[in-house]
Chains A and B, each alone.
Chain A
């Protein structure tokens, strides 16, 4: 009996972990390219969920169309965010300032400020209560597999994550945009020397990262049935933890750590009241930072 319950929890944990992974990739991409933390990533997730919900209540299209529209909205949100909170602080072009701590902390704070404003504006517009989602769109139809019971949401999240991770790999390693993103991540100055438009590459990074985040938002919104202006905060922090655990700029590391995080959180609920499950992520975070300062999968970095 316990065994089946445990397996069930692991399955739930995997689908939550995949969502964290989708968000963590966005964080990781942006960190890899700009060396800054984007604290507004949770708000991109929230905006994605709201955009999808508005489309659903307006026209009730098929799920695939919703996902495509949310992808587009996510890309636009990402580019807008970059223009608003990151571009104004990239006034320097020399190498010292590209690495400077002051610039990094300024964008950290500016993205935080933008995320506060975005969250509060959404609260003013939509209210802080849970939005009602049409029943037909909730991804909660149970599917029985022998003794296990999963929902179609688990399958859809799994499928969507695999497709998007595959597409991301294709984009990063088989296209020119991906090449320029990787070049800027490797060395912003070097990329400029070989004639890459770094601003455009950075914008593309934000677009791609935010697309993944926004789709994660709508999928989770429909899966858990909760879409609120506050929904971005907790997964944002978890994804952030996954990114740090994975070593800040390693995408496979972030994905593995996000899955680990999701599974360990849902297993925790077996031993402790569910309120404590958040503690797991934070303990992992502190333990990683103290014992593996480079992350579990990270390579050595400059400590500046």
Chain B
């Protein structure tokens, strides 16, 4: 569905884009809430809200890891910064949601840029390690700075979403607010990835030396991409704080960064619809398996392992998974001269 794959496969979209968008909006704003209200469950709304929050996280990570090719292992840290900023602003200063949410995004984004300034010149694994360290530093700070963040006890009683005096009481109204924010974030991210900016990021991902030789300011591009991604992680954190009403540091551990990364990998690096599907899959699948036992992380780990093994490009990655299948099974009718250069 991304710009890069459509011409590659030589197919035209089956439906005009406006119809596709309308259908998606219909599903998100009418079908899903109607179904959940019919089944009747605040619990289902909780899962749906979580799924939406993780959709924002996965698609924002996708901008950095998928489009710009910088493996970030500390995304949960910025998610945590957003959540804590929103929680502290609203509990201590009584600021409304309409101020805390942008503030959370801006502060997370600003910290992201500050972090990015020294680390952006690092490449590949060094950058991954640096983001891992930064994510853990944020986690340790949230955990130990007890005067400010209340440490391991977390922050309770965060006021729910209020918009200009209107307070959504039912879970459905809350879901609607979160869904609206998610759709807006997705729209911005998709415009970003399909612009010249996005193409420049792809160039950086494919070969940063070549991109810089062609006159792109690689470091600046990476910093902007990282800052934007952290901004949206902060927004997701604020949504979490205001919908769950309770946050604690262990929601923002290393494991959560991996979880978000798994969503992007499963969905396919570089594909926004892929990130959305990956997030849905990895939020809903563990909930569906809850009855079987506490298999949540095992499910996530195995889904991630097998998707890397069998679908290196993910479900909707920027190069098709079909090519891989052909190369894998094409061996059956090859000349049988044994291993050649290329796929086994």
Contact = CB atoms under 8 A, between A and B. Distances in A.
Contacts of A104: 124-125
Interface residues of A, number: 45
Count chain A CB atoms within 10 A of each CB in B122, B258, B301, B339 and give the residue with the most: B301
A133 interface: no
A102 B121 CA distance: 19
A105 B270 CA distance: 15
Given A101-B124, A109-B304, A276 B140 contact: yes
Interface string B274-301: 0000000000000000000111011011
Contacts of B136: 237, 278, 282
B343 interface: yes
A294 to B, nearest CB: 10
Nearest to A118: B301
Interface stretch (A69-77, A173-181, A285-293): A285-293
Contacts of A93: 339, 341
Given A116-B258, A117-B302, A278-B136, A293 B122 contact: yes
B9 interface: no
Interface in A235-249: 237, 240-241, 244
Contacts, number: 113
A4 interface: no
Interface residues of B, number: 45
B126 interface: yes
B134 A124 contact: no
B123 interface: yes
B125 A285 contact: no
Contacts of A290: 118-119, 130
Given A109-B265, A282-B140, A283-B137, A102 B129 contact: no
A68 interface: no
A114 interface: yes
A304 B124 CA distance: 8
A272 B129 CA distance: 25
A285 B129 contact: yes
Given A101-B124, A106-B308, A117-B302, A91 B343 contact: yes
Contact of A241 (B118, B133, B254): B133
Given A286-B133, A286-B134, A289-B122, A120 B71 contact: no
A275 interface: yes
A144 interface: no
B223 interface: no
Interface string A111-129: 0111111011100100000
Contacts of A279: 137, 140-141, 144
Nearest to A240: B129
Given A105-B71, A286-B134, A114 B144 contact: no
Interface string B321-344: 000000000000000000101111
Interface in B120-153: 121-126, 128-130, 132-134, 136-137, 140-141, 143-144
A250 interface: no
Count chain B CB atoms within 10 A of each CB in A106, A121, A237, A286 and give the residue with the most: A286
Contacts of B300: 116
A15 to B, nearest CB: 23
A278 B144 CA distance: 10
A88 interface: yes
A113 B129 contact: no
Contacts of A124: 293-294, 298
A189 interface: no
Contacts of B304: 109, 112-113, 116
A114 B134 CA distance: 23
A278 B140 contact: yes
A120 B134 contact: no
Given A91-B344, A237-B132, A293-B126, A286 B302 contact: no
B29 to A, nearest CB: 34
Contacts of B121: 293
B144 A273 contact: yes
Contacts of B302: 113, 117
A119 B301 CA distance: 10
Contacts of A37: 125, 129
Interface string B255-282: 1001001100100000000000000000
11 contacts: A93-B339, A112-B304, A114-B301, A116-B297, A120-B298, A121-B298, A244-B126, A273-B144, A275-B143, A290-B119, A303-B123
Given A92-B341, A92-B342, A105-B71, 8 more contacts: A108-B128, A117-B297, A117-B298, A120-B298, A240-B129, A279-B140, A279-B141, A282-B140
Q: Which 10 A-B residue pairs are closest in the complex by CB-CB distance?
A: A116-B301, A113-B305, A117-B301, A275-B144, A113-B304, A285-B133, A91-B344, A282-B133, A120-B297, A120-B298
